[in-house]
Structure 1
Amino acid sequence: MKSLNIVTLTVNPAIDKSTHLKGLVPEQKIRCEAPRYDAGGGGINVSKAISRLGGTSLALFTAGGFTGKLLEELISKEGIESKTIEVEAWTRENFIAVDDNTNSQYRFGFPGGKISSEESQKILDLVSNLDTQFLVLSGSLNEGLSDDFYPEIAKITKAKLIVDTSGEALKKVLKTGVYLIKPNVGELARLIGRERLELNEIDDAAKQIIADGGAEIVVVSLGPQGAALVTKDSYEHVPAPNVAKKSTVGAGDSMVGGMVWALSQNKSLKEVIRWGVACGSAATMNEGTQLFKQADAKRLFEWLEKK
């Protein structure tokens, strides 16, 4: 397998199907516009974001059935180098609908099919042979994969591990230790056993995780307030630019993609968090699941650099 600086792994990818409608009325047939199809799932979106910045990565993902073939076609059209891990269960679909009358967005997520123990081992074997600097684990786990799956990967990889997931899967992988995590404020609070955190408590909470050996870098997503990057001896808060938001789908993945790309380019941590916020904010400027445009991300990054 070709050596690349960045590899993303998506064990629970999806076909993101999006459309527009005018008025959501119960028990009536709703006329929708022609749907748009995009390859989705955390790691795949991260690879798409890296590609938009002119970077390269290898996208590893599971795929099965007719929808799996469609997923492969969509990724191929993106020009992203990829490798499919074939599974029996059909690749899931997500549905996103925007009501133009109210500008409300409705997001319907479906569960992924079951991954067998043999298929799980196939994924682990593939990961153990990877030659890469950064390995990104992003997204939810399928049925059949335990919360110990990401920790198993953490134990066998030599790459710098970047994890963007939630719940028990995130808690458990921190016991093994990773390079970078990207929780939101609520997730960060739960990781340290708190119900909630105020903005001025984020630094100490993140440094508690770092001191415990959970991660070297904690990036906390603050939504409209931007994001904070924390290491054992630094804290950097970057406000979110004020942009006209059309959709938040893929904003978090775009943020991770921007940061991983910047890390692979040996950017400083101050630049890394600014690229992350710039890409995440730029993604909200586009409809549906389109992520961001390179020109928007660059413009927002330049604006943030002046702050």
Structure 2
Amino acid sequence: MSDVITITINPALDKSTCVAQVLPEKKLRCDEPQYEPGGGGINVSRALKKLGGSSCAWVLVGGPSGERLCTLLQEEQVNYWPVHTKNWTRENLMVMEENSGNQYRFGMPGPVTFEEEWRQCLTKLAQMPAHKLPKYVVASGSLTPGVPDDFYSQLAAIANERGFRLLVDTSGEALLKAAGEGVYLLKPNLGELAALAGKEKISAMEQEEIARQVLQAGKCQVLVVSLGPRGAMLASKESGISYVVPPTVPQQSAVGAGDSMVAGMVLSLMKGCSLEEVVRYGVAAGTAATMTPGSELCRLEDTEQIYQWLQEHKVQV
């Protein structure tokens, strides 16, 4: 069994294409579509592969779209364990308008998932022999209809009992309930950090104090707040609060940046790096993903170059 497992409850078969211009009530002639496996945990596993790491992607898949998704994972040589579902895996669509450079992203709702399907992930982790347990589990992305809001919370309870480290990257009630159980690492953005504090929104002046409150409440051991183009804030009892500010790079698309960032952090954690180095490499991978077109994830060469820059330009706060 892999030392890193990613869990994707709501994967997607991502289809992308280009068109000269998006116009209403017109038949639009699109380029030949490209297909990619998508969903939070899947993209973390794919990015890990690109960065030289390995993992096993646990994914709920169903129907012809689910079969196509698994085939694409095989082509990328990403290890996976499929949980077959009665309903079909959703398909998302991204259209690039060539005249303007605008991206139009159409995200479809996930299918209804039955208890005997989603519970397989929890049961397998709860019953796995100790010598086969992963060191890190990444639970990322949204939940499908039929999956309870406390799914990640149940996963956190198993992690706390069995001793593996759980990283959660989600939003809404799923985030709040996972934090209520306590996880190793949370990666919220500012809006999600506000929700963790029971507020609608927060200012930059409040974020450090709220981060301390989240840690003191035992919601996580490590808090990495994504700040978009401004990088990330790291908060932990071990390291205190620090910031990683990336260099300005030529950006093409922000799609996949968050998942690439998580992959970079997990890879560094597996190497035993300090938390500061972990977040630095995560920001490097996330920034590298913005340099690639469409939904392409980070590239190793870009990530390494940005990481070296960050090592040489450490921000002192």
TM-score bracket for the superposition, by shorter chain length: over 0.9
**Cα RMSD for the two superposed structures:** 1.1
Q: In structure 2, what is the equivalent of residue 199 of structure 1?
A: 204
Q: In structure 1, what is the equivalent of residue 280 of structure 2?
A: 274
Q: For structure 1, list consecutive stretches of 5 or more residues without a partner in the other structure.
A: none
Q: Which of 232, 243, 256 pairs up with 1:237?
A: 243
State the SS of the aligned residue for 2:252. Answer: coil
Instruction: Write out aligned runs for 1:31-42 (5 A).
Output: 31-42=29-40
Q: For structure 2, list consecutive stretches of 5 or more residues without a partner in the other structure.
A: none
Question: In 2, Cα distance between the equivalents of 1:67 and 1:9?
Answer: 18
How many residue pairs are counted as aligned between the two chains?
305
Question: In 1, Cα distance between the equivalents of 2:303 and 2:199?
Answer: 34
Q: Aligned-pair distance for 1:198?
A: 2.2
2:171 is equivalent to residue 171 of structure 1: no
Q: Which of 76, 90, 106 pairs up with 2:74?
A: 76
2:31 is equivalent to residue 25 of structure 1: no
Q: In structure 2, what is the equivalent of residue 227 of structure 1?
A: 232
State the SS of the aligned residue for 1:137. Answer: strand
Q: In structure 2, what is the equivalent of residue 152 of structure 1?
A: 154
Q: In structure 2, what is the equivalent of residue 297 of structure 1?
A: 303
Instruction: Write out aligned runs for 1:39-188 (5 A).
Output: 39-130=37-128, 131-157=133-159, 158=162, 159-188=164-193
TM-score using structure 1 length? 0.97
Question: In 2, Cα distance between the equivalents of 1:129 and 1:257?
Answer: 26
Question: In 1, Cα distance between the equivalents of 2:13 and 2:269?
Answer: 28
Q: Aligned-pair distance for 1:121?
A: 2.2
8 Å Cα contact 2:9/2:118 also seen in 1: no
Q: Aligned-pair distance for 1:200?
A: 3.0
Regions of 4+ moved over 4 Å: none
Deviation sequence 1:270-289 (CA, Å, 0-9, x none): 11111111110110111121
Q: Aligned-pair distance for 1:123?
A: 2.3
State the SS of the aligned residue for 2:278. Answer: helix
Q: Aligned-pair distance for 1:194?
A: 2.1
Instruction: Give the residue type in structure 1 aligned to 2:261.
Output: M
Q: Aligned-pair distance for 1:21?
A: 1.1
2:218 is equivalent to residue 210 of structure 1: no
Instruction: Give the residue type in structure 2 aligned to 1:168.
Output: E
Q: Aligned-pair distance for 1:118?
A: 1.3
Deviation sequence 1:14-51 (CA, Å, 0-9, x none): 01111111111110111111111111000010011111
Instruction: Give the residue type in structure 2 aligned to 1:44.
Output: I
Deviation sequence 1:229-269 (CA, Å, 0-9, x none): 11025111011221111111111000001001110110111
Question: In 2, Cα distance between the equivalents of 1:232 and 1:201?
Answer: 18
Instruction: Give the residue type in structure 2 aligned to 1:251.
Output: A
* Greater Cα offset, 23-32 or 190-199: 190-199
State the identity %. Answer: 45
